[in-house]
Structure 1
Amino acid sequence: MGVRARAAHHQQPRQRSTALVLVPLALIAVITVVDLRSPTNIHLGPLLVIAPALTPSFAGPRLTALVGGLAIAAQVLIAFLHGGFTTSNHIAQIVALTALCALIVTFTAIRDHRVRQLARAQSVAEAAQRALLRPLPERIGPLEIATMYLAAEEETQIGGDLYTATRTRDGTRMLIGDVRGKGLAAVGESALLVSAFRLIAAQHDTLADLASTLDHNVGRYLVDFAQESGDTAEHFITAVLVDLPDDEPVAHLTNCGHPPPLLLRDGRTLAVDSVPAAPPLGVHALGDGKYPNESVPFDVGDTLLLYTDGVTEARDQTGEFYPLGERAAHWTKCSPEALVNHVRRDLLAHVGRRLNDDAAVIAVRRAEPTTVHPTEPGRESVGSQSSGSRPGPPAGPPAPR
């Protein structure tokens, strides 16, 4: 959405409410008539300022100026017909009303200018989000996918959480991660890891080797981010790498200091935490540089739920954490899209509509085998959550397991 379109979107409620201009016009008429019918020692003209003061709530500076001009004209009419135009009292009322109307119009113009600035900033944020977090396809090979991203900072749609996926020769590799920090300050570090993953994900035979390479390369640049920002705290990124072969009912995972994924199967929710998590990416000096690789069964109908700690550490008004595993157990039969929608609504209801940290979720379900169209390794499949097209029906019966 362009800047002008976004500004127009912000101003649509005001534009749809321009019929409310009848309210200040009616006030001007009523106050004028009542003042003219009142004794000369009663002055209701100062009440005319109410009309231009109400107008900015539903109109822009031009309509506000028009209403203000009508209020001033009404005050002049009252002065001419009710006591004399040249009396000091009427002159003072006209001058004061003119000054107040000018101030109201000025502040209305400033407000609209800031609305346009906000629209421009949001347009830039959306462009950054599209470049960094391109929507994942609804289907990649035998996998059905749905994602959710909730930014903690108001008026932004991006932050320190990240996810991406790419095709390899015989499967799909996915990444979900969380940069230390949140909001726009963490966007640069998120972009660094996402770009590195997209570039080299298909060049390594195992996730352990891929994690080691990401740790080595990302760590060098995180130091540069820290020096540029003057932040003395340590910079790192927690992440989970997932390798999902097309023709094997298994999921390979490497956990780099991230909350363990959940496996949804037969009405149960299992935490994939049998292998201890390695240190986060960017702090390879804390470990031996080796990352463990875990394999878990991931058969047709199973759903893998990847998430960031912004989900599980979200608190309600009593300080209770969001019980993702417990809630997800009720939705194990849902499609990935329905599951993600359930989590979104339930999470926002739990925290009272306001998150204190960025939150991201990926739901991946292995569907019935279909014909997998070859995709160049290292490139993402074409599609998006909003407009991705699903493949046709299977060419034949499922292969026996």
Structure 2
Amino acid sequence: MLKTRLGDSKGRSRTVLSSLPFIAVGLVAVTDLLAGPRLGFLPLLTLGPTFASVSGSVRRTFAVGGLSLMVSLPLAYYSEVLFTPQNNLVLATLVAVTGASALASHLRIRRERELADVRLVAEAAQRVLLRPVPRRADDLRIALSYTSAAAEAQIGGDLYEVVSTMHGVRLLIGDVQGKGLGAVETAAWVLGAFREAAYDEPDLAAVGERVEHSLMRHLGGEKFVTAVIGEVHEDEISLLNFGHPAPLIIRRDGDVVEAEPEIECPPLGLVALGDGGVKPYRFPFTDGDQILLYTDGVIEARDRSGSFYPLLERAGLLTAADPQAALDELRSDLISHVGGPLGDDAAMLFIRRHPA
């Protein structure tokens, strides 16, 4: 529904932009006729090719410029200024502005194509990095939601992963500082380090330390990545929280618990600045329990009045028998709360423990 509304809005915008050059030429012509010979509005006909260069092609810009020239001749004859020095200057201005507008249109189209190529490459890289998570792992059922911050696919820094290892099911969700290709590159480092360490390291704290050491070799300055790394055990879940929003644990009876860490740990890339080191903390996680991991794009989503999305209150929506359907319902509620495109990418990883 949101995509349909956005598509309709874009279609209306394109229609208005394509009509604007002709509207401008028509308004100038009518105004000049009503004003009479005393006031000359002919120089304003340059608005036609100028507006055409904003969204039209080079050919369209030349066509609108030609139309402006054709309209100026009868108007100049009506005002009895045809072929006067003043009118010749107006005609020369129209020709010059049309040529400049056509050049601007050509440069705009070339830049748009270059940007589209770069975006396609980055989106392809992001799709390779953020591969689909398994829907089942041991006695867990897993659902994923990723909502872009705009109608077009924007390149963000949200990342996620779920892997089944000999040490248990391990999971990751994170948010890279910044956007664009730099964020995708940093996400690649985090995901690569996690996927390798998750299989090799028997201890969850060692997984976090290994990701941190790998990231320290890559990041520079004060860049960082907030993340939660988890490991599901027989009847509990261990978590490492690196400056990330606390996951929500939804008990079988409906109670919601914020899985806050016992000791605050700085984000990845800044762990050395903390005092407590990397220490996992545990919560019971038995049959029927659920856990929702998410990025800050969810809880920082605002409605038109500026109110944040009340995720803790809306966690009760996660009741559908199918975890993916439950998460889709929560995502729909999030988008309805905002009433338009999100201000930041929003990723959610939802895990439900089913009886064997």
Report the TM-score, using the length of structure 1 for normalisation.
0.67
> Is the 8 Å Cα contact of residues 294 and 346 (structure 2) preserved in structure 1?
yes
* Superposed displacement of residue 242, structure 1: 2.1
SS in structure 2 of the partner of residue 329 of structure 1:
helix
CA change 1:298–1:60 in 2 (3 A) is farther
Give the letter for the 2:318 counterpart: W
Matches within 5 A, 1:1-400: 13=11, 17=15, 24=22, 31=29, 45-46=42-43, 48-56=45-53, 59-76=56-73, 83=80, 86-140=83-137, 142-150=140-148, 156-159=154-157, 161-169=158-166, 171-179=168-176, 181-184=177-180, 185-215=182-212, 217-218=213-214, 220-222=216-218, 225-226=219-220, 231=221, 233=222, 236-244=224-232, 248=234, 250-264=236-250, 265-273=252-260, 275-276=262-263, 280-282=267-269, 283-284=271-272, 286-287=274-275, 291-299=279-287, 301-313=288-300, 321-333=308-320, 335-347=322-334, 353=340, 359-367=346-354, 399=356
Aligned to 1:6: none
What is the aligned-residue RMSD (CA, Å)? 4.4
1:76-112 CA distance string (max 9 Å, x none): 4666798585432432232222223223333333332
Work out whether residues 129 and 191 of structure 2, in 8 Å CA contact, stay in contact via their aligned partners in 1. yes
Q: Contact 1:201–1:210 (CA<8 Å) still a contact in 2?
A: yes
Q: What runs of 5+ residues in structure 2 fail to find an aligned partner?
A: 1-6
Matches of 1:151 and 1:62, distance apart in 2? 34
Deviations 1:233-282 (CA, angstroms, capped at 9, x unpaired): 4x55443222236xx45434343443332112333312234754555544
Question: SS at the partner of 1:199?
Answer: helix
Task: Give the gaps of 5 or more residues in structure 1.
Answer: 1-8, 369-398
Q: 1:119: how far off?
A: 1.7
Give 1:49 deviation, angstroms. 3.8
Contact 1:18 1:58 in 2 (8 A): no
Aligned partners of 1:38, 1:178: CA distance in 2, in Å?
A: 61
Whether the aligned pair in 2 keeps the contact of 1:196 and 1:214 (CA below 8 Å) is yes
Which protein has greater RCO, CA pairs closer than 8 Å, 6+ apart?
A: 1
TM-score for the superposition, normalised by structure 2: 0.74
- Any conservation in 2 of the 1:259–1:309 contact (CA below 8 Å)? yes
C-alpha distance in 2 between matches for 1:322 and 1:218 = 34
Q: Which amino acid aligns with 1:122?
A: R
> CA separation of 1:55/1:163 partners in 2, compared to 1, >3 Å: closer, same or farther?
same
